[in-house]
Amino acid sequence: MLENLYIYLLPILAVIVGYFISLVLKPGSSSGFKLLLAFSGAYLLAVTVLELLPAVYRNPDSGIGIFIMLGLLLQIVLEFLSKGVEHGHLHFHDNTSAFPILLLISLSLHSLLEGFPLESDNHLLHGVVVHKIPVAAILSVFLIQSKLSKPKVFLFLGFFALMTPLGSWLKNNIAFISEYIVYVNAIVIGIFLHVSTTILFESSKNHSFNATKLAVIILGILLAYFI
């Protein structure tokens, strides 16, 4: 029972941690934040390749690759709506009081889908949590700098925080989803492949690597492999 609670509570905790990070750091310029982003991308990519990919390809259906590509294309569409917050790259515009409904829809769908493959005993849960912290931080900065009222900011973050646990709950309680979970997981793989690789190249100025970032990326891959 406690292990099942981790699936629902840890993603919510990640958003809370990300919010408080946004209050003390400037995610757009903090070197520590960029390293956390790079680590999350490397960890997420490694878990996807080492665990999720082999799992879906145990299915004899030769159409799995099509669903992976659909997931990748879906993420491209979602990032068109969200302006890239999933990989920590959000364009700030003039302050506006308009509620960012398209941003909420995009992030909610992304978060909902990433909740489906989560299990209490796999490493993907940790990868999603580590990934969610910097995303929540930069999202919080955007919302705080906008002219949205605090209740609307917390409403947005609360809805966003609940989507990943909701995806896990639907997978565990709706038989129809469980029946086709391998195809949903293939779509999630495409999403993760796009997000994680984009993080690794966009979190560096001029797409260049330095020794510290390279070490962080290697650490993320090794942890995903050995833990």
Asked whether the predicted pLDDT for residue 211 surpasses 60, the reply is yes
C-alpha dihedral (143, 144, 145, 150), degrees to nearest 10: 100
pLDDT the model gives residue 114: 92
- Residue 88: is its pLDDT beyond 70? no
Q: Evaluate if residue 87 carries a pLDDT over 90.
A: no
- Considering only CA atoms, which of 150, 12, 135 is closest in space to residue 84? 135
pLDDT tens per residue across span 69-79 = 999 999 999 88
CA distance between the termini of the chain: 22
Domain residues for the domain of 18 are 2-226
Q: What is the token pair recorded at 165?
A: 């646990």
Neighbour tally for 53: CB within 10 Å: 17
- Integer Cα distance of 3 and 72 in angstroms: 30
Give me the pLDDT at residue 155, please: 93
Distance between CA atoms of residues 163 and 113, nearest Å? 8
Lowest mean pLDDT among 54-58, 88-92, 113-117, 216-220: 88-92
Query: Rounded distance, CA 119 to CA 172, Å?
Result: 10
User: Which has more pLDDT, 6 or 190?
Assistant: 190
Dist CA 176 CA 97 (whole Å): 40
What is the mean predicted confidence (pLDDT) over 113-120? 86
Residue 27: the pLDDT is: 59
- Mean pLDDT, range 8-20, rounded to an integer: 92
Distance, in Å, from the CA atom of 136 to the CA atom of 180, rounded to the nearest integer, reads 30
Residue 141 and residue 27 in contact, taking contact as beta carbons nearer than 8 Å:
yes
Q: Could you give the number of structural domains in the chain? A: 1
Share of the chain above pLDDT 90, in %: 31
Q: Residue 61's CB: how many other CB atoms inside 10 A?
A: 13
Cα dihedral sign for 207, 213, 216, 221?
A: positive
pLDDT higher than 70, residue 120: no
Q: Look at residue 31 and tell me whether its pLDDT is greater than 70.
A: yes
Question: Which residues, 6+ apart, have CB-to-CB distance to 120 below 8 Å?
Answer: 3, 4, 6, 7
Please give the average per-residue pLDDT across 15-39, as a whole number.
79
What is the C-alpha to C-alpha distance for residues 129 and 90, in angstroms, rounded to an integer?
19
What's this model's pTM, rounded to 2 decimal places? 0.87
Encoded amino acid at 130, one letter? V
pLDDT value of residue 91: 56
- Average pLDDT, rounded, for the chain: 83
pLDDT at 226: 78
Return the DSSP state at 206: G
The first and second tokens of residue 155, run together, are: 């409403």
Quote the pLDDT of residue 137. Answer: 86
Please check the confidence at residue 149 and state whether its pLDDT lies above 60.
Answer: yes
**What contacts 1, CB < 8 A, 6 or more positions away?**
none
For 191-210, the pLDDT digits (tens) are 999 998 888 876 555 555 57
Residue 96 has a pLDDT of 60
How many C-beta atoms surround the C-beta of residue 215 within 10 A?
13
The pLDDT of residue 180 is above 80: yes
